[in-house]
Protein backbone atom coordinates (compact mmCIF):
# COMPACT_ATOMS: atom_id res chain seq x y z
CA UNK A 1 0.00 0.00 0.00
CA UNK A 2 1.35 3.43 -0.93
CA UNK A 3 1.89 5.93 1.83
CA UNK A 4 0.60 9.44 1.25
CA UNK A 5 0.88 12.75 3.04
CA UNK A 6 -0.93 16.07 2.95
CA UNK A 7 -0.80 19.33 4.85
CA UNK A 8 -3.36 21.86 6.03
CA UNK A 9 -1.45 25.10 5.66
CA UNK A 10 -3.76 27.27 7.80
CA UNK A 11 -3.67 24.92 10.75
CA UNK A 12 0.05 24.20 10.41
CA UNK A 13 -0.78 20.51 10.65
CA UNK A 14 0.54 17.63 8.59
CA UNK A 15 -0.96 14.20 8.22
CA UNK A 16 0.49 10.74 7.72
CA UNK A 17 -2.02 8.16 6.41
CA UNK A 18 -1.71 4.40 6.41
CA UNK A 19 -3.77 1.28 7.07
CA UNK A 20 -6.85 3.09 8.31
CA UNK A 21 -4.88 5.28 10.71
CA UNK A 22 -4.18 8.99 10.47
CA UNK A 23 -1.21 10.41 12.35
CA UNK A 24 -1.33 14.18 12.84
CA UNK A 25 1.96 16.07 12.95
CA UNK A 26 2.46 19.66 14.11
CA UNK A 27 5.48 20.43 11.96
CA UNK A 28 5.07 21.50 8.33
CA UNK A 29 8.80 21.38 7.58
CA UNK A 30 8.91 17.72 8.49
CA UNK A 31 5.78 16.99 6.48
CA UNK A 32 7.26 18.77 3.45
CA UNK A 33 10.39 16.66 3.86
CA UNK A 34 8.30 13.51 3.94
CA UNK A 35 6.34 14.64 0.88
CA UNK A 36 9.59 15.00 -1.06
CA UNK A 37 10.26 11.26 -0.74
CA UNK A 38 8.43 10.45 -3.98
CA UNK A 39 5.04 10.26 -2.19
CA UNK A 40 2.06 11.96 -3.81
CA UNK A 41 -0.10 14.56 -2.06
CA UNK A 42 -3.64 13.60 -1.16
CA UNK A 43 -6.70 15.02 0.53
CA UNK A 44 -7.66 14.41 4.12
CA UNK A 45 -9.64 11.17 4.37
CA UNK A 46 -13.28 11.59 5.32
CA UNK A 47 -13.88 7.97 6.29
CA UNK A 48 -15.45 7.96 9.73
CA UNK A 49 -13.77 4.64 10.51
CA UNK A 50 -10.31 6.16 10.30
CA UNK A 51 -8.60 6.71 13.62
CA UNK A 52 -6.56 9.84 14.25
CA UNK A 53 -3.46 9.84 16.39
CA UNK A 54 -1.46 12.99 17.12
CA UNK A 55 2.15 12.14 16.38
CA UNK A 56 4.80 14.50 17.80
CA UNK A 57 7.89 15.28 15.79
CA UNK A 58 10.17 13.08 17.89
CA UNK A 59 8.09 10.02 16.91
CA UNK A 60 8.07 10.67 13.16
CA UNK A 61 10.76 8.02 12.48
CA UNK A 62 8.14 5.44 13.53
CA UNK A 63 6.46 5.93 10.17
CA UNK A 64 9.05 3.58 8.68
CA UNK A 65 7.73 0.62 10.69
CA UNK A 66 4.72 0.57 8.35
CA UNK A 67 6.86 -0.22 5.31
CA UNK A 68 6.20 -3.49 3.53
CA UNK A 69 8.95 -6.01 4.13
CA UNK A 70 10.31 -4.35 7.25
CA UNK A 71 11.92 -6.80 9.66
CA UNK A 72 11.60 -7.02 13.46
CA UNK A 73 15.27 -6.04 13.73
CA UNK A 74 14.65 -2.88 11.71
CA UNK A 75 11.62 -2.06 13.86
CA UNK A 76 13.68 -2.51 17.02
CA UNK A 77 16.38 -0.22 15.67
CA UNK A 78 13.82 2.52 15.05
CA UNK A 79 12.34 2.10 18.52
CA UNK A 80 15.78 2.07 20.13
CA UNK A 81 16.68 5.32 18.39
CA UNK A 82 13.41 7.03 19.29
CA UNK A 83 13.57 6.04 22.96
CA UNK A 84 17.36 6.38 23.26
CA UNK A 85 18.01 2.81 24.40
CA UNK A 86 20.02 -0.13 23.07
CA UNK A 87 18.57 -2.70 20.68
CA UNK A 88 18.80 -5.31 23.43
CA UNK A 89 16.51 -3.13 25.56
CA UNK A 90 13.60 -3.45 23.12
CA UNK A 91 11.17 -6.37 23.29
CA UNK A 92 8.27 -6.94 20.92
CA UNK A 93 5.74 -9.71 21.49
CA UNK A 94 2.77 -10.85 19.41
CA UNK A 95 -0.29 -12.50 20.94
CA UNK A 96 -1.18 -15.81 19.30
CA UNK A 97 -3.63 -18.36 20.73
CA UNK A 98 -3.27 -17.14 24.30
CA UNK A 99 0.53 -16.97 24.15
CA UNK A 100 2.77 -13.94 23.90
CA UNK A 101 5.50 -14.90 21.45
CA UNK A 102 8.68 -12.91 21.01
CA UNK A 103 9.18 -11.23 17.65
CA UNK A 104 12.26 -9.45 18.98
CA UNK A 105 14.91 -9.96 20.38
CA UNK A 106 15.74 -12.59 17.78
CA UNK A 107 17.45 -14.92 20.27
CA UNK A 108 14.19 -15.23 22.23
CA UNK A 109 11.99 -16.09 19.24
CA UNK A 110 12.61 -19.83 19.62
CA UNK A 111 13.07 -20.01 23.39
CA UNK A 112 9.43 -20.19 24.42
CA UNK A 113 6.34 -18.07 24.94
CA UNK A 114 4.51 -16.33 27.78
CA UNK A 115 0.96 -17.52 28.58
CA UNK A 116 -1.27 -14.52 29.19
CA UNK A 117 -2.56 -16.39 32.23
CA UNK A 118 0.89 -16.18 33.83
CA UNK A 119 2.12 -13.57 36.31
CA UNK A 120 4.61 -12.13 33.86
CA UNK A 121 4.56 -8.36 33.43
CA UNK A 122 3.88 -8.70 29.69
CA UNK A 123 0.92 -10.98 30.43
CA UNK A 124 -0.51 -8.49 32.92
CA UNK A 125 -0.11 -5.71 30.37
CA UNK A 126 -1.99 -7.74 27.77
CA UNK A 127 -4.82 -8.69 30.13
CA UNK A 128 -5.25 -5.26 31.69
CA UNK A 129 -4.81 -3.39 28.39
CA UNK A 130 -3.02 -0.72 30.42
CA UNK A 131 0.38 0.88 29.96
CA UNK A 132 2.73 0.30 32.87
CA UNK A 133 5.96 1.87 34.03
CA UNK A 134 8.43 0.41 36.53
CA UNK A 135 11.38 2.49 37.67
CA UNK A 136 12.24 -0.08 40.36
CA UNK A 137 11.79 -3.14 38.16
CA UNK A 138 14.52 -5.15 39.88
CA UNK A 139 12.28 -5.18 42.98
CA UNK A 140 9.18 -6.25 41.06
CA UNK A 141 8.42 -9.96 41.14
CA UNK A 142 8.81 -11.13 37.55
CA UNK A 143 10.03 -14.02 35.43
CA UNK A 144 13.72 -13.34 34.94
CA UNK A 145 14.43 -16.44 32.86
CA UNK A 146 14.44 -14.47 29.60
CA UNK A 147 17.02 -12.05 31.03
CA UNK A 148 19.42 -14.95 31.57
CA UNK A 149 19.24 -16.19 27.96
CA UNK A 150 22.18 -14.68 26.12
CA UNK A 151 22.19 -13.75 22.43
CA UNK A 152 24.61 -15.45 20.09
CA UNK A 153 28.11 -14.07 20.53
CA UNK A 154 27.76 -13.01 24.15
CA UNK A 155 29.40 -16.23 25.32
CA UNK A 156 32.58 -15.06 23.63
CA UNK A 157 32.64 -11.90 25.79
CA UNK A 158 33.81 -12.95 29.27
CA UNK A 159 32.91 -9.56 30.79
CA UNK A 160 29.28 -9.74 29.64
CA UNK A 161 29.11 -13.37 30.67
CA UNK A 162 30.39 -12.62 34.17
CA UNK A 163 28.34 -9.46 34.69
CA UNK A 164 25.03 -9.65 32.81
CA UNK A 165 23.13 -6.42 33.25
CA UNK A 166 19.60 -6.94 34.59
CA UNK A 167 16.60 -4.82 33.69
CA UNK A 168 16.34 -1.87 36.09
CA UNK A 169 13.64 0.24 34.42
CA UNK A 170 10.78 -0.94 32.22
CA UNK A 171 7.84 0.37 30.24
CA UNK A 172 5.25 -2.17 29.09
CA UNK A 173 2.43 -1.17 26.74
CA UNK A 174 -0.28 -3.22 25.01
CA UNK A 175 -0.60 -3.08 21.23
CA UNK A 176 -4.29 -2.79 20.32
CA UNK A 177 -5.96 -3.07 16.94
CA UNK A 178 -8.77 -0.77 15.79
CA UNK A 179 -11.26 -2.92 17.71
CA UNK A 180 -9.28 -2.47 20.94
CA UNK A 181 -8.26 -6.12 20.81
CA UNK A 182 -4.80 -6.89 22.15
CA UNK A 183 -2.50 -8.17 19.42
CA UNK A 184 0.79 -7.81 21.25
CA UNK A 185 2.96 -6.00 23.79
CA UNK A 186 5.87 -3.61 23.36
CA UNK A 187 8.43 -3.22 26.13
CA UNK A 188 11.27 -0.73 26.42
CA UNK A 189 13.79 -1.23 29.21
CA UNK A 190 16.98 0.19 30.60
CA UNK A 191 19.53 -2.30 31.89
CA UNK A 192 22.34 -1.75 34.30
CA UNK A 193 24.22 -3.21 37.22
CA UNK A 194 23.17 -0.41 39.58
CA UNK A 195 19.69 1.21 39.45
CA UNK A 196 21.15 4.43 40.84
CA UNK A 197 23.01 4.96 37.59
CA UNK A 198 20.12 3.98 35.32
CA UNK A 199 17.88 6.80 34.13
CA UNK A 200 14.20 6.65 35.07
CA UNK A 201 11.47 6.62 32.45
CA UNK A 202 9.08 9.56 32.61
CA UNK A 203 5.33 9.75 32.12
CA UNK A 204 6.08 11.50 28.84
CA UNK A 205 8.15 8.49 27.77
CA UNK A 206 5.24 6.20 28.57
CA UNK A 207 2.84 8.38 26.61
CA UNK A 208 5.19 8.29 23.63
CA UNK A 209 5.36 4.50 23.85
CA UNK A 210 1.55 4.34 23.83
CA UNK A 211 1.56 6.37 20.62
CA UNK A 212 4.26 4.09 19.22
CA UNK A 213 2.09 1.07 20.03
CA UNK A 214 -0.70 2.62 17.97
CA UNK A 215 1.64 2.83 15.00
CA UNK A 216 2.97 -0.70 15.55
CA UNK A 217 -0.57 -2.07 15.44
CA UNK A 218 -0.57 -1.38 11.69
CA UNK A 219 2.97 -2.65 11.08
CA UNK A 220 3.50 -5.78 8.94
CA UNK A 221 5.62 -7.32 11.73
CA UNK A 222 2.52 -7.56 13.91
CA UNK A 223 0.60 -9.59 11.35
CA UNK A 224 0.44 -13.33 11.93
CA UNK A 225 2.38 -15.20 9.25
Task: Tell whether 50 and 70 lie within a shared domain.
Answer: no
End of a domain among 55, 75, 92? 55
Q: Per-residue confidence at 28, pLDDT binned at 50, 70, 90?
A: very low
Q: pLDDT tens digits, residue range 113-172?
A: 899 999 899 999 999 999 999 999 877 765 554 444 455 444 444 544 555 688 999 999
End of a domain among 55, 78, 94? 55
Q: Is beta strand 132-134 parallel, antiparallel or unpaired with respect to 113-115?
A: unpaired
Task: Tell whether 80 and 174 lie within a shared domain.
Answer: yes
What range does the domain containing 49 cover?
1-55
Task: Tell whether 35 and 118 lie within a shared domain.
Answer: no
Q: Which pLDDT score is estimated for 54?
A: 66
Q: Strand 21-25's sheet: what is its strand order?
A: 4-8, 13-18, 21-25, 51-54
Task: Tell whether 69 and 140 lie within a shared domain.
Answer: yes
* CA 162 centroid distance within chain: 30
Q: Per-residue confidence at 24, pLDDT binned at 50, 70, 90?
A: low
CA distance 92 to 181: 17
Task: Tell whether 118 and 26 lie within a shared domain.
Answer: no
Taking residues 1-26, what's their average pLDDT?
A: 42
Task: Tell whether 50 and 98 lie within a shared domain.
Answer: no
Q: Which pLDDT score is estimated for 190?
A: 94
Task: Tell whether 169 and 130 lie within a shared domain.
Answer: yes
Taking residues 52-77, what's their average pLDDT?
A: 86
Task: Tell whether 122 and 208 lie within a shared domain.
Answer: yes
Q: How many domains does the chain have?
A: 2
Residue 213 · residue 172 · CB < 8 Å: no
Question: The domain that contains 184 carries what CATH number?
Answer: 3.30.450.40
Rounded to the nearest 10 degrees, what angle do helices 203-216 and 72-83 cross at? 160
Amino acid sequence: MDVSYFAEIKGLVGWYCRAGLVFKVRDLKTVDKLNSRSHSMTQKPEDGAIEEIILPENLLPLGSVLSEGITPLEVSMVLAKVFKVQNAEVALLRLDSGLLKFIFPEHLVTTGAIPISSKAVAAHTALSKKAEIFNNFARVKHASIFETIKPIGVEADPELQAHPAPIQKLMSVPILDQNSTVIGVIQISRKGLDPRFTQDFSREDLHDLELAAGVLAASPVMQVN
